[in-house]
A and B are shown apart, each in its own frame.
Chain A
């Protein structure tokens, strides 16, 4: 993430007491802006958003919208011009007590095709190092899943490894604890949750591959745990205030239905994910680097073929370089960035037993970008995307290329 943007849009409701609220031009609506005094972590992203607050009401509203137009072509075949309303998200946060907070995030994807409660949880602070969170929580795997707001990114599409390998945005009903502690320029944080988890769709889906995001097709997952076994998600993160943040996270669960009505019909099959994420800003050049890498391992039944991978991995690296700052087109604090994303996903790591050759089913992409931020909360971005996707058998890759232009903004 661009540190610069970060700083401006961040506003930790958590530390509402200490923040300075500024008055907007509207008489009773206040725009809650940033507190740059605290180093922020990816885990703070849900609260670090611009909100609108009416008078002294304890409820604040916010949201963002993200849309794009694209023209992509794969080996000469194009779907033409596609205008997409990717998502509109509404946040409501309220402070019931200075140590009891509620935040919800409601997302409308692709028009109203998908309406998701991304987040709806209550936080009880006992001490900064010990908070209880319960409700629909965002599983803290990698960094993108927690820190996914469209306006924060210079790219129109979410990273493929976050949405096609990991199931971002992935949230589940559950509860857990989190906390952080700051020492001079350093912040240490942890999170640990037990939630509902994955289901058998990760190996029974239309993708014809092991595909964690398929779990999100289960409409019942917010009311019922597929197999009664909680999914554990844990993360630890360290931030050095000026330079970097690094996080290590994991999800561990059972995805199959192994018994019902007390009758056993299969063994428990595990799904394990590990992820590292980091972001780094170089103060001198103001370059920011942001990346994430995840490893997935799934206990696929031995009676399945190697079509369904037992090991997967992938990640992305974004480099963002502000090239112009200042007054542009009448905006006082505008920024123009050049950026580039590299991304890779391998859904099936390994070799075929029959032939010894590498199992394909992987892709990589490079996405150079120009983005213009008239203000920190709004971004206009032009991306070129070039993607090489190899099928399971490792045949010559399908080549996709094309342009995307989009706008994302908090409101």
Chain B
């Protein structure tokens, strides 16, 4: 009997010491969540506060949800900070050119097609043009936020003076009162350069966050005090502190890390990426200016975007637009984190603004307009070259 007990005890202890039974941390480059390296202790604390508000705070009617809404928390749409799926899309309607949105009285620009019990959600007016937008990843936004307007304008080429078929223009947007222009902001006709969102119609992370609370969850703040149902100013339902913590969280979410950058195929693919002019829009390298967050100041980073709008051709033209963008124009999405997209999209790819592309290759083949030449160059590649390009894109 004693022997048995000792045996079982020993077995128990050896099990306890077996690390394999405790699930290990996935490799750092497999994860999107986590702060930029080099934050101070107090910055880590604020990051955590923001992380909780972003991922865990679920709104209910008791805490202000709705009455009209699209989802109940930031994290419902931005799972694991990665890209979303057609299930988590936003629908926008009512604006067809740069003169503005004429359907504000019907709930435009954003459709709030869900409502708390007892309320009737919005419906799209008949025969109206609309865009469905899948959530982009939220990684590395702090770096993008710190690219100077001058750098963005230097990449623009409105009249295609260099004759490469790629123009690229900023979206000039009107700022709401609570958004402070950044240092060195360039202003044209009273409008500023937008950089977040698929049409680059949000100026900075506060602008994006305050409107997300308001438009996506039906949560008012001192920044965005108008309730989307009453269309009246109501009490704030989220504190400034929480909004600012979330902004800090988004600012300091790390940039995705490239996997296997030195694998030969990846290396070759990167060359091809530049050769076939993908990099004309998906700019590999940008730099930040000064920031109060030391870890973000004057950094070089690799997002594969120019933050500019490009005419992508009629197939991607939904007829809806924002700011001074034309309906066929979309902001170049950063490609960092591309290979990790399926980890937040339910194991599949949903690429392009509405998730219509089921694979990276499909996404490339949907490129038109300014990107038509680049797409044709891709089509002209040999199968082995395409493989290399895809290996590179998946490593991002």
Known: A206-B58, A395-B343, A401-B21. A301 touches B117 (CB 8 A): yes
The answer to whether A355 touches B87, judged by C-beta atoms less than 8 angstroms apart, is yes
For residue B361, give the distance in angstroms from its CB to the closest CB of chain A.
Answer: 19
Determine whether B347 belongs to the interface, using a CB cutoff of 8 Å to chain A: yes
The answer to whether B86 touches A204, judged by C-beta atoms less than 8 angstroms apart, is no
Determine whether A25 belongs to the interface, using a CB cutoff of 8 Å to chain B: no
The answer to whether A360 touches B58, judged by C-beta atoms less than 8 angstroms apart, is no
For residue A381, give the distance in angstroms from its CB to the closest CB of chain B.
Answer: 11
The answer to whether A329 touches B23, judged by C-beta atoms less than 8 angstroms apart, is no
The main secondary structure of chain A at its interface with chain B is loop
User: Which one of A12-20, A172-180, A302-310 contacts B?
Assistant: A302-310
When C-beta atoms are compared, the residue in chain B nearest to A323 turns out to be B4
Determine whether A74 belongs to the interface, using a CB cutoff of 8 Å to chain B: yes
List the interface of chain B (C-beta within 8 A of A): 1, 4-5, 8, 12, 15-16, 21-26, 56, 58, 60-62, 65, 70-73, 76, 79-80, 84-89, 114-121, 343-348, 350
The answer to whether A328 touches B22, judged by C-beta atoms less than 8 angstroms apart, is no
Additional pairs, 5, CB under 8 Å, beyond known A303-B117, A384-B15: A205-B60, A307-B71, A324-B1, A352-B87, A400-B23
Determine whether A79 belongs to the interface, using a CB cutoff of 8 Å to chain B: no
The answer to whether A328 touches B87, judged by C-beta atoms less than 8 angstroms apart, is no
Whole-angstrom CA separation of A344 from B88 in the bound complex: 26
The answer to whether A393 touches B1, judged by C-beta atoms less than 8 angstroms apart, is no
**In chain A between 182 and 209, which residues have their CB closer than 8 angstroms to a CB of chain B?**
200-201, 204-208
Whole-angstrom CA separation of A207 from B59 in the bound complex: 10
When C-beta atoms are compared, the residue in chain B nearest to A368 turns out to be B15
Known: A208-B73, A324-B1. A303 touches B58 (CB 8 A): no
Question: Would you give 13 A-B contacts (Cβ < 8 Å), ordered by A?
Answer: A74-B23, A78-B22, A201-B60, A204-B60, A204-B65, A208-B58, A301-B117, A303-B116, A360-B346, A370-B8, A392-B76, A399-B23, A403-B15
Determine whether A219 belongs to the interface, using a CB cutoff of 8 Å to chain B: no
When C-beta atoms are compared, the residue in chain B nearest to A382 turns out to be B12
Known: A204-B62, A205-B58, A395-B343. A354 touches B21 (CB 8 A): no
Question: Which residues in A have their C-beta under 8 angstroms from that of B24?
Answer: 75-76
**In chain A between 32 and 78, which residues have their CB closer than 8 angstroms to a CB of chain B?**
71, 73-78
The answer to whether B89 touches A326, judged by C-beta atoms less than 8 angstroms apart, is no
| From A207, A303, A393, contact of B115 by CB (8 A) | A303
The answer to whether B114 touches A305, judged by C-beta atoms less than 8 angstroms apart, is yes
Question: Which residues in B have their C-beta under 8 angstroms from that of A266?
Answer: 117-118
Shortest beta-carbon contacts, A-B, top 8: A76-B25, A354-B86, A394-B346, A204-B60, A399-B23, A393-B346, A303-B115, A73-B22
The answer to whether B348 touches A357, judged by C-beta atoms less than 8 angstroms apart, is yes
Question: Which residues in A have their C-beta under 8 angstroms from that of B60?
Answer: 201, 204-206
Whole-angstrom CA separation of A304 from B59 in the bound complex: 13
The answer to whether A394 touches B1, judged by C-beta atoms less than 8 angstroms apart, is no
When C-beta atoms are compared, the residue in chain A nearest to B26 turns out to be A75
The answer to whether A354 touches B1, judged by C-beta atoms less than 8 angstroms apart, is no
**In chain A between 334 and 378, which residues have their CB closer than 8 angstroms to a CB of chain B?**
336, 352-355, 357, 360, 370
Determine whether A402 belongs to the interface, using a CB cutoff of 8 Å to chain B: yes
The answer to whether A76 touches B26, judged by C-beta atoms less than 8 angstroms apart, is yes
Whole-angstrom CA separation of A394 from B79 in the bound complex: 11
The answer to whether A392 touches B121, judged by C-beta atoms less than 8 angstroms apart, is no
The answer to whether A200 touches B25, judged by C-beta atoms less than 8 angstroms apart, is no
For residue B21, give the distance in angstroms from its CB to the closest CB of chain A.
Answer: 5
Whole-angstrom CA separation of A382 from B80 in the bound complex: 33
For residue A335, give the distance in angstroms from its CB to the closest CB of chain B.
Answer: 12
Size of the chain A interface, CB-CB below 8 angstroms: 51
Question: Which residues in B have their C-beta under 8 angstroms from that of A400?
Answer: 23
Question: Which residues in A have their C-beta under 8 angstroms from that of B117?
Answer: 200, 256, 266, 269, 301, 303
List the interface of chain A (C-beta within 8 A of B): 71, 73-78, 200-201, 204-208, 256, 265-266, 269, 301, 303-307, 324, 326-329, 336, 352-355, 357, 360, 370, 382, 384, 386, 391-396, 399-403
Whole-angstrom CA separation of A326 from B1 in the bound complex: 9
For residue A307, give the distance in angstroms from its CB to the closest CB of chain B.
Answer: 6
Whole-angstrom CA separation of A307 from B347 in the bound complex: 18
| From A77, A206, A392, contact of B79 by CB (8 A) | A392
When C-beta atoms are compared, the residue in chain B nearest to A324 turns out to be B4
Question: Which residues in A have their C-beta under 8 angstroms from that of B61?
Answer: 204
Question: Which residues in B have their C-beta under 8 angstroms from that of A326?
Answer: 1
For residue B342, give the distance in angstroms from its CB to the closest CB of chain A.
Answer: 8
Whole-angstrom CA separation of A396 from B114 in the bound complex: 28
For residue A350, give the distance in angstroms from its CB to the closest CB of chain B.
Answer: 12
Known: A303-B114, A395-B80. A402 touches B119 (CB 8 A): no
Question: Which residues in B have their C-beta under 8 angstroms from that of A206?
Answer: 56, 58, 60
Whole-angstrom CA separation of A356 from B153 in the bound complex: 42
The answer to whether B118 touches A265, judged by C-beta atoms less than 8 angstroms apart, is yes
Whole-angstrom CA separation of A53 from B80 in the bound complex: 56
Question: Which residues in B have their C-beta under 8 angstroms from that of A395?
Answer: 79-80, 343-347
For residue B214, give the distance in angstroms from its CB to the closest CB of chain A.
Answer: 18
For residue A40, give the distance in angstroms from its CB to the closest CB of chain B.
Answer: 30
Question: Which residues in A have their C-beta under 8 angstroms from that of B346?
Answer: 355, 357, 360, 393-395
For residue B358, give the distance in angstroms from its CB to the closest CB of chain A.
Answer: 10
For residue B81, give the distance in angstroms from its CB to the closest CB of chain A.
Answer: 12
> Which one of A205, A303, A382 has the highest number of Cβ atoms from chain B below 10 Å of its Cβ?
A303
The answer to whether B87 touches A306, judged by C-beta atoms less than 8 angstroms apart, is yes
Question: Which residues in B have their C-beta under 8 angstroms from that of A200?
Answer: 117
For residue B7, give the distance in angstroms from its CB to the closest CB of chain A.
Answer: 11
The answer to whether B23 touches A73, judged by C-beta atoms less than 8 angstroms apart, is yes
Known: A307-B72, A324-B4, A328-B5. A393 touches B26 (CB 8 A): no
The answer to whether B87 touches A354, judged by C-beta atoms less than 8 angstroms apart, is yes
The answer to whether B58 touches A393, judged by C-beta atoms less than 8 angstroms apart, is no
| From A76, A303, A384, contact of B121 by CB (8 A) | A303
> Which one of A355, A393, A400 has the highest number of Cβ atoms from chain B below 10 Å of its Cβ?
A393
The answer to whether A401 touches B62, judged by C-beta atoms less than 8 angstroms apart, is no
For residue A80, give the distance in angstroms from its CB to the closest CB of chain B.
Answer: 12
Question: Which residues in B have their C-beta under 8 angstroms from that of A353?
Answer: 87
For residue A157, give the distance in angstroms from its CB to the closest CB of chain B.
Answer: 17
> Which one of A304, A327, A395 has the highest number of Cβ atoms from chain B below 10 Å of its Cβ?
A395
Question: Which residues in B have their C-beta under 8 angstroms from that of A328?
Answer: 1, 5
Whole-angstrom CA separation of A396 from B345 in the bound complex: 10
For residue A178, give the distance in angstroms from its CB to the closest CB of chain B.
Answer: 35
Whole-angstrom CA separation of A218 from B56 in the bound complex: 21
Question: Which residues in B have their C-beta under 8 angstroms from that of A386?
Answer: 21
Question: Which residues in A have their C-beta under 8 angstroms from that of B72?
Answer: 208, 307
